[in-house]
């Protein structure tokens, strides 16, 4: 007892300690989610991290959940959260902003194998926020591509209400309208779908977005999330089981979530937990299945676990689509060929450092310049030879109008990167075209400010002709880097090997550079020569900074092997190949 009061039992933090210490079997990504909570506790209420955790508020939603009744089955039974569910719910609702005491997390992404209670949790959160969140006349939605899918979370809420006489006094369920009204707050919960008219303009205090692996694009997510900006407190909760569509919004969101868990991207408003097997796990060992199936593998669910074992045996015997189905739906694993990933996340993370341009003052470097068409990212990169290592620095530019467009369509936090001075934004909201002259001036300022010597400039021939004289004024070789597998193979392969052997270095706080490197995939020609490209179908994932780094490295390699290309002749060849006249 403390001053006559019993201390609050913090289920969230106790569970996180058990997972982080290895006392509970868990996959790496779930371990990282638990460690994120523990690390945040150490830095809470600081200038760097203006958030705090309140175990009493976390306990409120757990206590609420365990007053609910599960109606489905042979007879009603009370809700009893397993520890991982308590962690995810309590963490989501236990963190707050110091500035206004509103909830920290505005977005939530939870991925796990099917039949493990994802929709069930969204139903708990929806009724809690609508009836007891303290917000009046708020809009809550359950959303999916199909109305039938969107009603799943809505029906979970309806079942909780109808099964509990006390709860029924707080809600009016209108099944024929797919509408629930909270009587004391006048909040409404409505099931929406794309086929039913889901579009921009929804201002929701809570949205459950179900099975995003079925979403063709990010339009539903963006329609809901973009409508929440004026709200002090909101939650867009995405739930999914991984699918086999690698060129999808779900895969893009999953990749972004993993970068946040690994510390390769910053999104303090985003709660993430991913339950899946690790790449090196034996998929046939039942001891590993709990990593993706914490509910099915929990004590008391032996019958469900036996069904999982039978599904595994069928997948092992049949292979093909049965195996793919087991891997994705029962083990929550992406089925993909990682050989085509340009840089593996672990290798890249190991190369990060705290060194910056000041540490290379007065040094020699190579320059790479990626000139985007229109108003997308334009980037220059500087490569500094440093003994047997190579340090890369990059900076990007984008017009204000284009930046605002990308904030609406992309998952990337361009506004955050602008505040971190990783992007220089030019012009006003009506500006959509890059000013290459301004960018060249900024490159010259960096050279003069840090007393750098440019050894050579590698540049993509596209859009080059208009700035040729400006680049030649730097007084160093200007090397055309043709964007073909044949021309880029050596530099691409070399950077990949440098990263793997930890001889590449970059500033670990440059999230834009990290995002670009981890977006890039390898493509090959018939001679097995490679270059990088975006992931197929991932139109919103930019790779301009890594392109600039490869151009700088290609310039360096060509100079070392005395292959400096004559600009005049190479440009003539390029224009001829493109069918243009000089």
Clarify whether residues 201 and 140 are in a common domain: yes
Clarify whether residues 349 and 318 are in a common domain: no
Clarify whether residues 87 and 165 are in a common domain: yes
Buried b or exposed e, range 258-268, using 16+ CB within 10 angstroms: bbbbbbbbebb
User: What's the total number of domains in the chain?
Assistant: 2
What is the extent of the structural domain holding 273? 11-330
Q: Is 430 exposed, middle or buried (0-12, 13-18, 19+ CB in 10 A)?
A: exposed
Sign of CA dihedral 535, 536, 542, 543: positive
For residue 126, what are the contacts with CB-CB under 8 A and spacing of at least 6?
Answer: 140, 142, 153, 156, 157, 189, 206, 208
CATH code of 166's domain: 3.40.50.300
Clarify whether residues 195 and 306 are in a common domain: yes
Clarify whether residues 299 and 426 are in a common domain: no
DSSP secondary-structure letter at 544?
Answer: H
The verdict on residue 83 lying in a domain is yes
pLDDT for the residue 23: 96
Q: Are 522 and 530 in contact (CB under 8 A)?
A: yes
Clarify whether residues 276 and 425 are in a common domain: no
Clarify whether residues 405 and 258 are in a common domain: no
Clarify whether residues 303 and 450 are in a common domain: no
The verdict on residue 340 lying in a domain is no
CATH code of 553's domain: 3.30.420.240
pLDDT for the residue 575: 52
Clarify whether residues 165 and 260 are in a common domain: yes
Give the orientation angle of helix 249-261 with respect to helix 28-43, to 10 degrees. 50
pLDDT for the residue 565: 47
Clarify whether residues 200 and 230 are in a common domain: yes
The verdict on residue 470 lying in a domain is yes
pTM: 0.74
| Domain end point (choices 305, 330, 355) | 330
In degrees and rounded to multiples of 5, residue 347 shows phi and psi of -65, -45
The verdict on residue 287 lying in a domain is yes
Mean pLDDT per 10-residue segment, the chain (582 residues):
60 97 96 97 96 96 93 84 96 97 96 91 93 92 82 88 90 89 93 66 83 79 81 92 81 91 92 94 93 93 92 85 88 72 86 94 95 79 95 93 80 84 86 85 94 93 81 91 90 93 94 90 85 69 89 90 51 53 48
3-state secondary structure (DSSP) of residue 109: strand
For residue 532, what are the contacts with CB-CB under 8 A and spacing of at least 6?
Answer: 342, 488, 492, 520, 521, 522, 523, 543, 546, 547, 550
CA-CA distance, 397 to 533, in Å (whole number)?
Answer: 20
The verdict on residue 85 lying in a domain is yes
The verdict on residue 243 lying in a domain is yes
pLDDT for the residue 570: 52
The verdict on residue 337 lying in a domain is no
The verdict on residue 179 lying in a domain is yes
Clarify whether residues 387 and 326 are in a common domain: no
Q: Are 375 and 433 in contact (CB under 8 A)?
A: yes
- Nearest to residue 527, comparing CAs of 474, 559, 487? 487
pLDDT for the residue 136: 93
Radius of gyration of the chain (CA): 26
| Domain end point (choices 330, 365, 382) | 330
pLDDT for the residue 542: 82
Clarify whether residues 310 and 417 are in a common domain: no
């Amino acid at each position: 007892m403390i001053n006559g009061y019993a201390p609050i039992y913090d289920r969230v933090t106790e569970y996180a300690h058990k997972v982080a210490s290895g006392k509970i079997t868990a996959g790496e990504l779930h371990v990282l989610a638990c460690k994120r909570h523990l690390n945040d506790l150490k830095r809470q209420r600081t200038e760097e991290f203006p958030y705090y955790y309140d175990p009493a508020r976390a306990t409120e939603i757990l206590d609420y959940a365990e007053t609910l009744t599960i109606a489905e089955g042979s007879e009603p039974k009370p809700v009893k959260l397993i520890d991982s569910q308590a962690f995810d719910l309590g963490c989501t609702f236990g963190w707050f902003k110091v500035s206004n005491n509103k909830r920290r997390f505005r977005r939530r992404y939870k991925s796990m194998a099917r039949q493990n209670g994802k929709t069930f949790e969204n139903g708990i959160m929806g009724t809690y926020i609508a009836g007891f969140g303290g917000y009046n006349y708020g809009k809550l939605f359950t959303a999916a591509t199909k109305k039938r899918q969107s009603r799943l979370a809505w029906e979970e809420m309806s079942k909780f209400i109808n099964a509990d006489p006390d709860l029924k006094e707080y809600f009016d369920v209108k099944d024929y309208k797919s509408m629930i009204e909270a009587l004391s707050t006048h909040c409404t919960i409505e099931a929406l779908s794309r086929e039913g008219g889901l579009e921009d303009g929804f201002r929701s205090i809570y949205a459950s977005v179900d099975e995003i692996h079925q979403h063709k694009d990010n339009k539903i997510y963006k329609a809901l999330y973009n409508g929440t900006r004026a709200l002090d407190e909101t939650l867009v909760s995405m739930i999914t089981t991984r699918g086999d569509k690698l060129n999808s919004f779900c895969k893009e969101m999953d990749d972004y979530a993993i970068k946040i868990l690994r510390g390769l991207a910053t999104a303090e408003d985003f709660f993430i937990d991913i339950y899946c097997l690790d790449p090196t796990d034996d998929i046939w060992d039942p001891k590993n299945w709990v990593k993706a199936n914490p509910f099915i593998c929990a004590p008391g669910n032996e019958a469900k676990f036996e069904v999982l074992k039978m599904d595994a045996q069928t997948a092992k015997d049949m292979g093909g689509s049965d195996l793919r189905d087991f891997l994705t739906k029962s083990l929550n694993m992406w089925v993909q060929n990682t050989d085509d990933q340009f840089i593996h996340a672990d290798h890249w993370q190991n190369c990060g450092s705290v060194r910056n341009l000041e540490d290379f003052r007065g040094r020699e470097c190579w320059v790479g310049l990626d000139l985007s068409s229109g108003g997308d990212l334009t980037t220059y990169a500087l490569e500094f030879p440093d003994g047997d290592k190579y340090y890369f620095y990059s900076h990007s530019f984008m017009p204000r109008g284009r930046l605002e467009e990308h904030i609406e369509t992309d998952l990337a936090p361009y506004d955050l990167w602008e505040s971190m001075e990783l992007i220089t934004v030019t012009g006003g909201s009506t500006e959509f075209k890059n000013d290459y002259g301004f960018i060249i001036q900024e490159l010259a300022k960096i050279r003069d400010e840090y007393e750098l010597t440019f050894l050579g400039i590698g540049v993509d021939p596209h859009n080059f002709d208009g700035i040729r004289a400006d680049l030649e004024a730097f007084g160093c070789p200007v090397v055309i880097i043709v964007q073909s597998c044949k021309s880029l193979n050596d530099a691409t392969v070399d950077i990949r090997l440098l990263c793997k052997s930890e001889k590449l270095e970059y500033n670990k706080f440059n999230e834009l550079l990290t995002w670009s490197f981890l977006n890039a995939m390898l493509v090959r020609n018939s001679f097995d020569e490679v270059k990088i490209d975006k992931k197929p179908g991932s139109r919103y994932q930019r790779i301009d900074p890594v392109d600039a780094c490869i151009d700088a490295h290609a310039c360096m390699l060509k100079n070392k092997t005395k292959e400096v290309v004559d600009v005049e002749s190479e440009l003539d060849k390029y224009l001829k190949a493109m069918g243009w006249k000089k």
